[in-house]
Structure 1
Amino acid sequence: MFSRNVVSSERRSEPSDTARVEAFSDGVMAIAITLLVIEIHLPDTEGGNLLHDLGHLWPSYFAYAASFLTIGVIWLCHHRFFGRIRRMDGLLHVGNLLLLLAVAFLPFPTTVLAHHLEDGGPNARVAVAFYGVVASWQTAAWFVMWMALRRNPDLFEPGYDAEFARLESKQAVIGFVVFDVIAAIGLAVPILALILYLLMILLFGYTSTRSHVFGRELEGSR
Protein backbone atom coordinates (compact mmCIF):
# COMPACT_ATOMS: atom_id res chain seq x y z
CA MET A 1 0.00 0.00 0.00
CA PHE A 2 2.82 2.38 0.95
CA SER A 3 4.61 1.62 -2.31
CA ARG A 4 1.52 2.33 -4.41
CA ASN A 5 0.95 5.64 -2.61
CA VAL A 6 4.55 6.69 -3.21
CA VAL A 7 4.32 5.90 -6.93
CA SER A 8 1.01 7.76 -7.21
CA SER A 9 2.49 10.80 -5.43
CA GLU A 10 5.54 10.78 -7.71
CA ARG A 11 3.34 10.68 -10.81
CA ARG A 12 1.30 13.64 -9.59
CA SER A 13 4.48 15.64 -8.99
CA GLU A 14 5.85 15.04 -12.50
CA PRO A 15 5.31 17.71 -15.17
CA SER A 16 2.32 17.15 -17.43
CA ASP A 17 2.79 15.83 -20.96
CA THR A 18 2.22 19.26 -22.51
CA ALA A 19 4.49 20.99 -19.97
CA ARG A 20 7.37 18.67 -20.87
CA VAL A 21 6.86 19.35 -24.59
CA GLU A 22 6.70 23.12 -24.00
CA ALA A 23 9.89 23.05 -21.93
CA PHE A 24 11.74 21.04 -24.57
CA SER A 25 10.42 23.29 -27.37
CA ASP A 26 11.38 26.45 -25.49
CA GLY A 27 14.91 25.08 -25.12
CA VAL A 28 15.24 24.35 -28.84
CA MET A 29 13.94 27.80 -29.78
CA ALA A 30 16.23 29.51 -27.27
CA ILE A 31 19.27 27.75 -28.70
CA ALA A 32 18.26 28.48 -32.31
CA ILE A 33 17.62 32.17 -31.65
CA THR A 34 21.00 32.44 -29.90
CA LEU A 35 22.85 30.76 -32.76
CA LEU A 36 21.62 33.42 -35.18
CA VAL A 37 24.05 36.03 -33.86
CA ILE A 38 27.05 33.80 -34.57
CA GLU A 39 26.74 34.74 -38.25
CA ILE A 40 27.55 38.39 -37.50
CA HIS A 41 31.35 38.43 -37.52
CA LEU A 42 33.66 41.17 -36.37
CA PRO A 43 34.82 43.24 -39.36
CA ASP A 44 38.49 43.22 -40.30
CA THR A 45 39.35 46.85 -39.64
CA GLU A 46 43.12 46.62 -39.88
CA GLY A 47 44.03 49.66 -41.94
CA GLY A 48 40.36 50.20 -42.80
CA ASN A 49 37.38 52.29 -41.76
CA LEU A 50 35.37 50.74 -38.92
CA LEU A 51 32.19 52.69 -39.70
CA HIS A 52 32.32 51.60 -43.34
CA ASP A 53 33.08 47.99 -42.42
CA LEU A 54 30.23 47.85 -39.92
CA GLY A 55 27.83 49.23 -42.51
CA HIS A 56 29.06 46.66 -45.00
CA LEU A 57 27.62 43.96 -42.72
CA TRP A 58 24.02 45.08 -43.40
CA PRO A 59 23.02 41.73 -45.00
CA SER A 60 23.98 39.97 -41.77
CA TYR A 61 22.01 42.46 -39.70
CA PHE A 62 18.96 42.05 -41.92
CA ALA A 63 19.11 38.24 -41.96
CA TYR A 64 19.57 38.17 -38.18
CA ALA A 65 16.61 40.49 -37.58
CA ALA A 66 14.34 38.57 -39.96
CA SER A 67 15.15 35.21 -38.39
CA PHE A 68 14.97 36.56 -34.83
CA LEU A 69 11.51 37.93 -35.64
CA THR A 70 10.53 34.61 -37.21
CA ILE A 71 11.50 32.53 -34.18
CA GLY A 72 9.94 35.10 -31.87
CA VAL A 73 6.61 34.85 -33.68
CA ILE A 74 6.83 31.04 -33.74
CA TRP A 75 7.37 31.10 -29.97
CA LEU A 76 4.36 33.38 -29.46
CA CYS A 77 2.16 31.12 -31.61
CA HIS A 78 3.54 28.00 -29.92
CA HIS A 79 2.86 29.41 -26.45
CA ARG A 80 -0.71 30.31 -27.41
CA PHE A 81 -1.21 26.92 -29.08
CA PHE A 82 -0.24 24.97 -25.98
CA GLY A 83 -2.45 27.15 -23.83
CA ARG A 84 -5.39 25.60 -25.71
CA ILE A 85 -4.55 21.91 -25.29
CA ARG A 86 -4.39 19.64 -22.27
CA ARG A 87 -2.68 16.52 -23.59
CA MET A 88 -0.73 15.14 -26.54
CA ASP A 89 -1.08 12.29 -28.99
CA GLY A 90 1.36 10.77 -31.47
CA LEU A 91 0.47 12.98 -34.44
CA LEU A 92 0.68 16.13 -32.34
CA HIS A 93 4.14 15.08 -31.15
CA VAL A 94 5.19 14.54 -34.78
CA GLY A 95 3.91 17.98 -35.82
CA ASN A 96 5.70 19.66 -32.94
CA LEU A 97 8.96 17.89 -33.81
CA LEU A 98 8.61 18.96 -37.44
CA LEU A 99 8.21 22.56 -36.28
CA LEU A 100 11.29 22.30 -34.07
CA LEU A 101 13.17 20.75 -36.98
CA ALA A 102 12.43 23.86 -39.03
CA VAL A 103 13.35 26.19 -36.17
CA ALA A 104 16.64 24.43 -35.47
CA PHE A 105 17.47 24.52 -39.19
CA LEU A 106 16.75 28.26 -39.55
CA PRO A 107 20.28 29.47 -38.68
CA PHE A 108 21.54 27.79 -41.88
CA PRO A 109 19.30 29.64 -44.42
CA THR A 110 19.96 32.76 -42.34
CA THR A 111 23.68 32.33 -42.99
CA VAL A 112 23.07 31.65 -46.68
CA LEU A 113 20.93 34.78 -46.95
CA ALA A 114 23.50 36.93 -45.14
CA HIS A 115 26.34 35.73 -47.37
CA HIS A 116 24.60 36.15 -50.71
CA LEU A 117 22.01 38.91 -50.29
CA GLU A 118 24.44 41.63 -51.31
CA ASP A 119 25.50 39.76 -54.46
CA GLY A 120 22.41 40.95 -56.31
CA GLY A 121 22.71 38.15 -58.86
CA PRO A 122 21.49 34.56 -59.18
CA ASN A 123 22.97 33.63 -55.81
CA ALA A 124 20.93 36.31 -54.05
CA ARG A 125 17.75 35.14 -55.75
CA VAL A 126 18.36 31.51 -54.80
CA ALA A 127 19.19 32.49 -51.21
CA VAL A 128 15.92 34.43 -50.83
CA ALA A 129 13.89 31.63 -52.44
CA PHE A 130 15.54 29.07 -50.14
CA TYR A 131 14.65 31.21 -47.13
CA GLY A 132 11.01 31.34 -48.25
CA VAL A 133 10.83 27.58 -48.74
CA VAL A 134 12.02 27.02 -45.17
CA ALA A 135 9.24 29.35 -44.01
CA SER A 136 6.66 27.25 -45.87
CA TRP A 137 8.06 24.18 -44.13
CA GLN A 138 7.20 25.79 -40.78
CA THR A 139 3.58 26.33 -41.81
CA ALA A 140 3.37 22.70 -42.98
CA ALA A 141 4.33 21.65 -39.44
CA TRP A 142 1.57 23.84 -38.01
CA PHE A 143 -0.88 22.18 -40.39
CA VAL A 144 0.05 18.75 -39.00
CA MET A 145 -0.43 20.01 -35.45
CA TRP A 146 -3.85 21.49 -36.14
CA MET A 147 -4.93 18.38 -38.05
CA ALA A 148 -4.03 16.31 -35.00
CA LEU A 149 -6.47 18.42 -32.98
CA ARG A 150 -9.09 18.31 -35.70
CA ARG A 151 -8.86 14.52 -35.73
CA ASN A 152 -8.90 14.30 -31.93
CA PRO A 153 -10.56 17.40 -30.41
CA ASP A 154 -10.48 15.76 -26.98
CA LEU A 155 -6.89 17.00 -26.80
CA PHE A 156 -8.26 20.54 -26.49
CA GLU A 157 -8.99 22.37 -23.29
CA PRO A 158 -12.75 22.90 -22.79
CA GLY A 159 -14.21 25.52 -25.11
CA TYR A 160 -12.42 24.49 -28.32
CA ASP A 161 -13.55 21.99 -30.94
CA ALA A 162 -12.76 20.41 -34.28
CA GLU A 163 -14.21 23.40 -36.14
CA PHE A 164 -11.73 25.71 -34.43
CA ALA A 165 -8.90 23.37 -35.47
CA ARG A 166 -10.25 23.28 -39.03
CA LEU A 167 -10.17 27.07 -39.35
CA GLU A 168 -6.67 27.26 -37.90
CA SER A 169 -5.44 24.51 -40.23
CA LYS A 170 -6.88 26.53 -43.11
CA GLN A 171 -4.68 29.44 -42.04
CA ALA A 172 -1.68 27.12 -42.11
CA VAL A 173 -2.51 26.04 -45.66
CA ILE A 174 -2.82 29.67 -46.76
CA GLY A 175 0.52 30.42 -45.11
CA PHE A 176 2.15 27.48 -46.89
CA VAL A 177 0.93 28.67 -50.28
CA VAL A 178 1.83 32.32 -49.64
CA PHE A 179 5.37 31.54 -48.47
CA ASP A 180 5.93 29.35 -51.51
CA VAL A 181 4.69 32.18 -53.73
CA ILE A 182 7.07 34.54 -51.93
CA ALA A 183 9.89 32.06 -52.57
CA ALA A 184 9.01 32.07 -56.28
CA ILE A 185 8.98 35.88 -56.30
CA GLY A 186 12.42 35.75 -54.68
CA LEU A 187 13.76 34.05 -57.81
CA ALA A 188 12.84 37.19 -59.77
CA VAL A 189 12.77 40.14 -57.33
CA PRO A 190 14.60 39.27 -54.07
CA ILE A 191 14.01 42.57 -52.28
CA LEU A 192 10.26 42.46 -52.92
CA ALA A 193 10.14 38.87 -51.67
CA LEU A 194 11.92 39.82 -48.45
CA ILE A 195 9.50 42.69 -47.83
CA LEU A 196 6.53 40.37 -48.37
CA TYR A 197 8.11 37.79 -46.10
CA LEU A 198 8.51 40.28 -43.26
CA LEU A 199 4.92 41.47 -43.71
CA MET A 200 3.67 37.89 -43.48
CA ILE A 201 5.66 37.24 -40.31
CA LEU A 202 4.31 40.43 -38.75
CA LEU A 203 0.79 39.38 -39.74
CA PHE A 204 1.21 36.00 -38.08
CA GLY A 205 2.62 37.74 -35.02
CA TYR A 206 -0.40 40.04 -34.88
CA THR A 207 -2.95 37.25 -35.31
CA SER A 208 -1.20 35.17 -32.62
CA THR A 209 -2.24 37.80 -30.07
CA ARG A 210 -5.82 38.09 -31.28
CA SER A 211 -8.95 36.08 -30.49
CA HIS A 212 -10.22 35.85 -34.06
CA VAL A 213 -9.78 33.47 -36.95
CA PHE A 214 -10.87 34.75 -40.37
CA GLY A 215 -13.00 37.43 -38.71
CA ARG A 216 -14.84 35.01 -36.45
CA GLU A 217 -14.55 35.54 -32.69
CA LEU A 218 -13.91 32.10 -31.30
CA GLU A 219 -12.53 32.70 -27.85
CA GLY A 220 -14.55 35.64 -26.64
CA SER A 221 -13.64 36.49 -23.08
CA ARG A 222 -11.81 33.26 -22.32
Structure 2
Amino acid sequence: MNKGRVEAFTDAVLAIILTIMILEFKTPESFSISAILDQVPYLISYAIGYLFIGVAWYNHHYMFSKTRWISQNVYWANNFWMFATSFLPVATAWVGKGLNQQGPEIFYFMVYLLWSVAYFILSLMLVRANKKDHQWDAAQSIRSMAIFRFMRNWKWASLQIIASIVAIIYIPALQMVIVSLSIIFVGARFNKDSDQLFN
Protein backbone atom coordinates (compact mmCIF):
# COMPACT_ATOMS: atom_id res chain seq x y z
CA MET A 1 0.00 0.00 0.00
CA ASN A 2 1.20 3.51 -0.81
CA LYS A 3 2.54 4.94 2.45
CA GLY A 4 2.33 8.54 1.21
CA ARG A 5 -1.42 8.26 0.56
CA VAL A 6 -2.04 6.91 4.06
CA GLU A 7 0.05 9.69 5.63
CA ALA A 8 -1.70 12.38 3.54
CA PHE A 9 -5.13 11.05 4.52
CA THR A 10 -4.11 10.97 8.18
CA ASP A 11 -2.77 14.53 8.05
CA ALA A 12 -6.01 15.74 6.44
CA VAL A 13 -8.19 14.06 9.09
CA LEU A 14 -6.11 15.48 11.95
CA ALA A 15 -6.23 18.97 10.39
CA ILE A 16 -10.03 18.74 10.20
CA ILE A 17 -10.21 17.59 13.84
CA LEU A 18 -8.11 20.59 14.95
CA THR A 19 -10.28 22.94 12.87
CA ILE A 20 -13.47 21.60 14.45
CA MET A 21 -11.96 22.05 17.90
CA ILE A 22 -11.17 25.74 17.40
CA LEU A 23 -14.59 26.40 15.85
CA GLU A 24 -16.10 25.45 19.21
CA PHE A 25 -14.50 28.57 20.66
CA LYS A 26 -17.29 31.12 20.70
CA THR A 27 -16.77 34.82 20.07
CA PRO A 28 -18.10 36.82 23.04
CA GLU A 29 -21.13 39.04 22.45
CA SER A 30 -19.63 41.80 24.58
CA PHE A 31 -16.56 43.87 23.69
CA SER A 32 -15.32 43.84 27.29
CA ILE A 33 -12.14 41.81 27.82
CA SER A 34 -13.81 40.19 30.83
CA ALA A 35 -16.32 38.56 28.45
CA ILE A 36 -13.61 36.15 27.33
CA LEU A 37 -13.39 34.72 30.86
CA ASP A 38 -16.43 32.54 30.20
CA GLN A 39 -14.37 30.78 27.53
CA VAL A 40 -11.40 30.00 29.81
CA PRO A 41 -12.56 26.42 30.62
CA TYR A 42 -12.86 25.69 26.90
CA LEU A 43 -9.47 27.30 26.22
CA ILE A 44 -7.94 24.97 28.81
CA SER A 45 -9.54 21.86 27.31
CA TYR A 46 -8.67 23.07 23.79
CA ALA A 47 -5.02 23.61 24.75
CA ILE A 48 -4.84 20.09 26.17
CA GLY A 49 -6.52 18.67 23.05
CA TYR A 50 -4.15 20.58 20.76
CA LEU A 51 -1.15 19.32 22.73
CA PHE A 52 -2.64 15.81 22.59
CA ILE A 53 -2.93 15.86 18.77
CA GLY A 54 0.40 17.64 18.26
CA VAL A 55 2.33 15.04 20.27
CA ALA A 56 0.38 12.17 18.68
CA TRP A 57 1.12 13.51 15.18
CA TYR A 58 4.85 13.76 15.91
CA ASN A 59 4.97 10.16 17.15
CA HIS A 60 2.82 9.00 14.23
CA HIS A 61 5.16 10.77 11.78
CA TYR A 62 8.18 9.13 13.43
CA MET A 63 6.71 5.62 13.19
CA PHE A 64 5.61 6.05 9.58
CA SER A 65 8.95 7.59 8.58
CA LYS A 66 10.71 4.52 9.95
CA THR A 67 8.34 2.18 8.09
CA ARG A 68 8.75 1.31 4.39
CA TRP A 69 5.76 -0.96 3.92
CA ILE A 70 2.11 -0.42 4.95
CA SER A 71 0.17 -3.64 5.39
CA GLN A 72 -3.62 -3.94 5.41
CA ASN A 73 -3.43 -4.39 9.18
CA VAL A 74 -1.55 -1.11 9.52
CA TYR A 75 -4.07 0.62 7.27
CA TRP A 76 -7.05 -0.54 9.34
CA ALA A 77 -5.28 0.10 12.64
CA ASN A 78 -4.56 3.64 11.41
CA ASN A 79 -8.24 4.09 10.54
CA PHE A 80 -9.26 2.86 14.01
CA TRP A 81 -6.81 5.31 15.57
CA MET A 82 -8.22 8.21 13.49
CA PHE A 83 -11.75 7.11 14.44
CA ALA A 84 -10.82 7.28 18.13
CA THR A 85 -9.14 10.67 17.62
CA SER A 86 -12.23 12.05 15.86
CA PHE A 87 -14.13 11.98 19.18
CA LEU A 88 -11.69 14.48 20.70
CA PRO A 89 -13.54 17.64 19.52
CA VAL A 90 -16.78 16.48 21.17
CA ALA A 91 -14.97 15.50 24.37
CA THR A 92 -13.05 18.78 24.37
CA ALA A 93 -16.18 20.88 23.83
CA TRP A 94 -18.14 19.09 26.56
CA VAL A 95 -15.30 19.36 29.09
CA GLY A 96 -15.07 23.04 28.16
CA LYS A 97 -18.67 23.47 29.25
CA GLY A 98 -18.21 21.52 32.47
CA LEU A 99 -14.53 21.34 33.37
CA ASN A 100 -15.19 19.97 36.85
CA GLN A 101 -18.28 17.88 36.07
CA GLN A 102 -18.26 14.08 36.15
CA GLY A 103 -20.22 13.46 32.93
CA PRO A 104 -17.87 15.32 30.56
CA GLU A 105 -14.78 14.04 32.39
CA ILE A 106 -16.01 10.42 32.19
CA PHE A 107 -16.61 10.83 28.46
CA TYR A 108 -13.15 12.40 27.95
CA PHE A 109 -11.61 9.53 29.91
CA MET A 110 -13.45 6.98 27.72
CA VAL A 111 -12.22 8.74 24.57
CA TYR A 112 -8.69 8.81 25.99
CA LEU A 113 -8.86 5.07 26.76
CA LEU A 114 -10.20 4.26 23.28
CA TRP A 115 -7.49 6.43 21.72
CA SER A 116 -4.78 4.73 23.81
CA VAL A 117 -5.92 1.24 22.79
CA ALA A 118 -6.12 2.31 19.13
CA TYR A 119 -2.67 3.91 19.26
CA PHE A 120 -1.13 0.83 20.86
CA ILE A 121 -2.69 -1.44 18.22
CA LEU A 122 -1.36 0.85 15.46
CA SER A 123 2.13 0.79 16.98
CA LEU A 124 2.00 -3.00 17.28
CA MET A 125 0.87 -3.39 13.65
CA LEU A 126 3.73 -1.15 12.52
CA VAL A 127 6.23 -3.23 14.51
CA ARG A 128 4.88 -6.40 12.88
CA ALA A 129 4.90 -4.86 9.40
CA ASN A 130 8.54 -3.85 9.84
CA LYS A 131 9.49 -7.31 11.09
CA LYS A 132 7.74 -8.87 8.11
CA ASP A 133 9.68 -6.47 5.86
CA HIS A 134 12.94 -7.47 7.67
CA GLN A 135 13.35 -3.90 8.92
CA TRP A 136 14.55 -4.93 12.37
CA ASP A 137 15.97 -1.49 13.28
CA ALA A 138 12.69 0.23 12.42
CA ALA A 139 10.71 -2.30 14.48
CA GLN A 140 13.07 -1.81 17.42
CA SER A 141 12.85 2.00 17.13
CA ILE A 142 9.05 1.85 17.44
CA ARG A 143 9.26 -0.63 20.32
CA SER A 144 11.71 1.65 22.15
CA MET A 145 9.37 4.68 22.03
CA ALA A 146 8.41 5.85 25.53
CA ILE A 147 4.70 5.84 24.71
CA PHE A 148 4.86 2.26 23.39
CA ARG A 149 6.79 1.04 26.45
CA PHE A 150 4.35 2.82 28.80
CA MET A 151 1.27 1.31 27.13
CA ARG A 152 2.87 -2.12 27.14
CA ASN A 153 3.59 -1.92 30.87
CA TRP A 154 0.25 -2.93 32.38
CA LYS A 155 1.31 -1.77 35.87
CA TRP A 156 1.90 1.86 34.80
CA ALA A 157 -1.14 1.89 32.52
CA SER A 158 -3.34 0.45 35.31
CA LEU A 159 -1.99 3.02 37.77
CA GLN A 160 -2.96 5.86 35.41
CA ILE A 161 -6.45 4.39 34.91
CA ILE A 162 -6.98 4.04 38.67
CA ALA A 163 -5.69 7.59 39.31
CA SER A 164 -8.07 8.95 36.63
CA ILE A 165 -11.07 7.10 38.08
CA VAL A 166 -10.32 8.35 41.60
CA ALA A 167 -9.89 11.89 40.23
CA ILE A 168 -13.21 11.73 38.38
CA ILE A 169 -15.00 10.61 41.56
CA TYR A 170 -13.57 13.30 43.84
CA ILE A 171 -12.17 16.18 41.71
CA PRO A 172 -13.22 15.59 38.07
CA ALA A 173 -11.03 18.39 36.62
CA LEU A 174 -7.95 16.65 38.03
CA GLN A 175 -8.38 13.99 35.36
CA MET A 176 -7.37 16.56 32.72
CA VAL A 177 -4.21 17.26 34.71
CA ILE A 178 -3.41 13.53 34.67
CA VAL A 179 -3.96 13.40 30.89
CA SER A 180 -1.74 16.48 30.41
CA LEU A 181 1.06 15.02 32.53
CA SER A 182 0.83 11.77 30.60
CA ILE A 183 1.10 13.63 27.29
CA ILE A 184 4.07 15.72 28.47
CA PHE A 185 6.09 13.11 30.37
CA VAL A 186 5.28 10.01 28.30
CA GLY A 187 4.02 10.99 24.85
CA ALA A 188 6.44 13.88 24.38
CA ARG A 189 9.51 11.83 25.30
CA PHE A 190 10.59 11.30 21.71
CA ASN A 191 13.35 9.00 20.50
CA LYS A 192 16.69 10.77 20.12
CA ASP A 193 16.79 10.21 16.37
CA SER A 194 13.32 11.68 15.78
CA ASP A 195 14.64 15.05 14.61
CA GLN A 196 17.34 13.49 12.40
CA LEU A 197 15.19 11.29 10.17
CA PHE A 198 15.68 13.30 6.99
CA ASN A 199 19.17 14.77 7.56
Q: Normalization by structure 1: what TM-score? A: 0.74
Partner deviation per Cα, 1:87-140 (whole Å, 9 max, x = no partner): 1112111211111112222101011101112xx4xxx12212221221121221
SS at structure 2 position matched to 1:113:
helix
Aligned ranges for residues 67-216 of structure 1 at < 5 Å?
A: 67-117=49-99, 120=100, 124-152=101-129, 153-155=131-133, 157=135, 159-161=137-139, 169-174=148-153, 177=158, 180-184=161-165, 185-210=167-192
2:81/2:122 contact within 8 Å kept: no
Distance 1:128 1:32 in 2: 19
Q: What is the identity, as a one-letter code, of the residue corresponding to 1:62?
A: I
Q: What is the identity, as a one-letter code, of the residue corresponding to 2:171?
A: V
Query: Which segments of 5 or more consecutive residues in structure 1 lack a partner in the other structure?
Result: 1-15, 213-218
Aligned ranges for residues 6-85 of structure 1 at < 5 Å?
A: 17-45=2-30, 50-85=32-67
Q: What is the identity, as a one-letter code, of the residue corresponding to 1:28?
A: V
1:36/1:107 contact within 8 Å kept: yes
* Percent of paired sites with the same residue: 23
1:128/1:187 contact within 8 Å kept: no
Distance 2:150 2:26 in 1: 37
Q: What is the identity, as a one-letter code, of the residue corresponding to 1:23?
A: A
Distance 2:107 2:91 in 1: 7
SS at structure 1 position matched to 2:66:
coil
Tell me the number of residue pairs that the alignment of Structure 1 and Structure 2 aligns.
Answer: 190
1:73/1:201 contact within 8 Å kept: yes
Measured after TM superposition, the shift of residue 166 of structure 1 is 5.0
SS at structure 1 position matched to 2:138:
coil
Query: Which segments of 5 or more consecutive residues in structure 2 lack a partner in the other structure?
Result: none
Partner deviation per Cα, 1:154-175 (whole Å, 9 max, x = no partner): 34746234x5555554433447
Higher RCO (CA-CA < 8 Å; seq separation 6+): 2
Q: Normalization by structure 2: what TM-score? A: 0.82
1:132/1:182 contact within 8 Å kept: no
1:113/1:131 contact within 8 Å kept: yes
Call closer, same or farther: CA 1:68–1:150 in 2, change over 3 Å: closer
Call closer, same or farther: CA 1:206–1:19 in 2, change over 3 Å: same
Distance 1:64 1:17 in 2: 33
Distance 2:14 2:75 in 1: 16
Higher gyration radius (CA): 1
Aligned residues: CA RMSD: 2.7
